[in-house]
Structure 1
Amino acid sequence: MSHASTGVQEHPAPTPPPAPGNSLSSGTLPRLAPLGFAAVSIALGVGIGAAAGWHSRVQWGLIAALLFLVISYVATSVVENRRQAKDRLATSLVWVCFLIAVVPLASLLWTTVSRGSGRLDIYFLTHSMAGVLGSEASGGVYHALIGTLEQVGIATVISAPLGLLTAVYLVEYGKGPLARAVTFFVDVMTGIPSIVAGLFILSIMLIAGLEPSGLMGALALTILMIPVVVRSTEEMLKLVPNELREASLALGIPKWRTILKVVLPTAIGGIATGVMLAIARIAGETAPIILLVFGSQLINPNPFEGAQSSLPFYIYEQYKIGESASYDRAWAAALVLIAFVMILNLVARGIARWKAPKTGR
């Protein structure tokens, strides 16, 4: 039964306007709005700090950071909505924390470069401190650079195989109380102070009647490096898909050969990166070197006999002299050490990119 048309056109009921502050279709701030908020916050922070008589730029920066968070949240709430305001507040908080972490690092790097670059030259890199007084402007870092390369090299030769084999055991074979004990002691060794490692090797030297040498310092650095290599290698081995292991074992290949030919080549990029970062971690250690190597003004290319120097010990030694020329040498040596660590990190990134699994066709 059909209803007759009444001739009256019905209109849908109007929808109520969205509640203010909760609409998903509100206005949108321009893309460069955060830069404007930052500029206003910096200006207000400087103005408030100057008006209050605060001369510390750190205080000005903290005020500007707080104002940036408040201005970003309020402006986004008014123009857009509260949901977008909360999202922008979280994003702004991440950026503020990032800048707070980067500013000291950038300040340290800038200070080191500005004060060390004036003394850093070929002469400084190719001469030692033999016969040079602390107040003289001559002398170089060659003997300390040789000591650092040899000590770090010996520590790497010892630590890399031990750390790699320990990580392979924990990932591929480790089960039961032994594996748990090894994991526990690796975690403990990761956090031990460097002076403890130096005291341990020093006690062995005193018991065995050994003389200070670069080898003793390298052994202390080995103790600090092994847990870093184990942890990084272990995580890289865990990232290798189990399907690769299962496919190899299904073909009848022994487990040791599967590890050698499948697992390790797959994770070699991350393993090399971990080793490089571990080297960078021990390159700046000073306490074990002071205890075990004793330092030397002469060039000693033999790490197994006699006192040696290193870049961290050289920096400490020159700063302790207290002369203007020694301060310049200390800053230049610090710049060399930073460059050494930076080169290692770049090499690690290059190896990781080179050995990364290829994607696509």
Structure 2
Amino acid sequence: MSAVTTTASASLPQLRRSLTTARLPRWAPAGVAVLAIALGCAIGAGAGLASHLQWGLIAAGLFLALSYGLSARVEGRRQAKDRFATSVVWVAFILAVVPLASLTIYTVQQGIGVVDGYFLSHSMKNVISSGPGGGIYHALIGTLEQVALATAMAAPIGLMTAVYLVEYGRGRLAKVVTFFVDVMTGIPSIVAGLFILSLWNIVLGFDYSGFSGSLALAILMMPVVVRSTEEMLKLVPNELREASYALGVPKWKTILRIVIPTAIGGITTGVMLAVARITGETAPVMMLVFGADFINSDPFNGPQQSLPLYIWQQYALVNNDFGYARAWGAALVLIVFVMSLNLIARGIARWRSPKAGH
């Protein structure tokens, strides 16, 4: 008995060593990444490649190959496949982040010198476009009013449509609504602008205004709100609904008091994403709002400016250093505006999300 015990105890450390010794150290992926970057830069420079993007792609390919080869040699093919999949995920993440970070950094570098109190509080009225001066106050007011009107129209309709599809829709009508929501999700912004131009301005005879642009922006925003709200409502556990019904609470009150408050964090985030999607639209604003170089605080009367249209006009029409500077400054303000909306959405989602124990 003692001999068997001795043999088992002797074989156990050997088994444990066989399972743990053939492993790469934790710093190995970082070391492989540094080596791949160095080799990628050396190959790119040696081959005379002018684009740093090509250097990065070479480094990414070397990182994948070196990670798989080193892991297969030390840890075996099975673990090497797992490390290769992980490396692919990291490379994809970096490829997605680098352009976004580069865009943000470049916009800040180009626009930070223009954005100041004067730029934010003055319009282009009585300012020569080809010369210095001027600001974006009129475009900022127009963007805020047009987006606010579009949100006031699209968010309630989108929310109620999603509630119908999730809580009530079971027949052919629900399938038709779902089909048209899917179709509207991919509709080009220029088509929405043409539709409002034909119906609102030509057929009904209304003039160019910020409200006309808001109608087109609401059409673009609505399917995004419906889809995001629908997915959030589906995530609410059915047990909450059934518990409410068991207490005798009507269905409409269950939806209003239980379902929507539970999903309000995701719903708010979806609405903010839809707002961010329409904030940068240029084509509907160009067709329906028409643009202006003066301050127009009335979105229902007369042409009105917006930040995307202002950026296009300054960059494409002015076509000099002063116009480029104003365009980059407006682009920086637009990015900060969209980023602020996302931060506000996250704050509201965290504040209104159900807390454990409540």
TM range (shorter): over 0.9
The verdict on how the C-alpha distance between 1:186 and 1:338 changes in structure 2, with shifts beyond 3 A counting, is same
Equivalent residue runs for 1:235-250 within 5 Å: 235-250=231-246
Moved more, 45-54 or 300-309: 45-54
What amino acid maps onto 2:101 in structure 1? A
What amino acid maps onto 1:254 in structure 2? P
Q: Match for 1:90 among 85, 88, 101?
A: 85
Equivalent residue runs for 1:32-51 within 5 Å: 32-51=27-46
Q: Please name the residue that 2:336 is paired with.
A: 339
Alignment partner of 1:353 is 2:350: yes
Q: Please name the residue that 2:186 is paired with.
A: 191
Alignment partner of 1:181 is 2:141: no
Distance 1:291 1:259 in 2: 40
**1:360, CA displacement in angstroms?**
5.8
Q: Please name the residue that 2:165 is paired with.
A: 170
Distance 2:50 2:271 in 1: 44
C-alpha distance after superposition, 1:328-360 (max 9, x if no partner): 000000000000000011111111222222236
Alignment partner of 1:157 is 2:191: no
Give 1 or 2: higher helix fraction. 2
Paired residue secondary structure (1:304): coil
C-alpha distance after superposition, 1:193-250 (max 9, x if no partner): 1000000001011112211000000000000011111111111111111111111111
C-alpha distance after superposition, 1:132-155 (max 9, x if no partner): 112221000000000000000000
C-alpha distance after superposition, 1:86-143 (max 9, x if no partner): 1111111111111111111111111100000010001100000001112221000000
Alignment partner of 1:294 is 2:290: yes
The answer to whether the 8 Å contact 1:150/1:303 transfers is yes
**1:317, CA displacement in angstroms?**
0.6
**1:12, CA displacement in angstroms?**
7.4
Q: Please name the residue that 1:68 is paired with.
A: 63
Alignment partner of 1:311 is 2:307: yes
Paired residue secondary structure (1:253): coil
Distance 1:338 1:134 in 2: 23
Paired residue secondary structure (2:101): helix
The answer to whether the 8 Å contact 1:26/1:81 transfers is no
Residue segments in structure 1 that go unaligned for 5+ positions in a row? 1-7
Task: Give identity over the alignment, percent.
Answer: 66
Q: Please name the residue that 2:278 is paired with.
A: 282
Moved more, 315-324 or 351-360: 351-360
The answer to whether the 8 Å contact 1:41/1:67 transfers is yes
**1:293, CA displacement in angstroms?**
0.5
Equivalent residue runs for 1:266-281 within 5 Å: 266-281=262-277
Paired residue secondary structure (2:133): coil
Distance 2:129 2:19 in 1: 70
Q: Please name the residue that 1:112 is paired with.
A: 107
Alignment partner of 1:138 is 2:97: no
Paired residue secondary structure (1:331): helix
What amino acid maps onto 2:276 in structure 1? A
Distance 1:360 1:245 in 2: 18
Equivalent residue runs for 1:211-230 within 5 Å: 211-230=207-226
Q: TM-score, normalised by structure 1?
A: 0.92
Q: Rg: which structure is higher? A: 1
Q: Match for 2:229 among 233, 244, 253?
A: 233
**1:24, CA displacement in angstroms?**
4.1
Q: Provide the aligned C-alpha RMSD in A.
A: 2.0
The answer to whether the 8 Å contact 1:129/1:297 transfers is yes
Distance 1:156 1:213 in 2: 17
The answer to whether the 8 Å contact 1:34/1:72 transfers is yes
How many residue pairs align between the two structures?
A: 348
The answer to whether the 8 Å contact 1:26/1:79 transfers is no
What amino acid maps onto 2:109 in structure 1? S
What amino acid maps onto 1:82 in structure 2? R
**1:46, CA displacement in angstroms?**
1.0
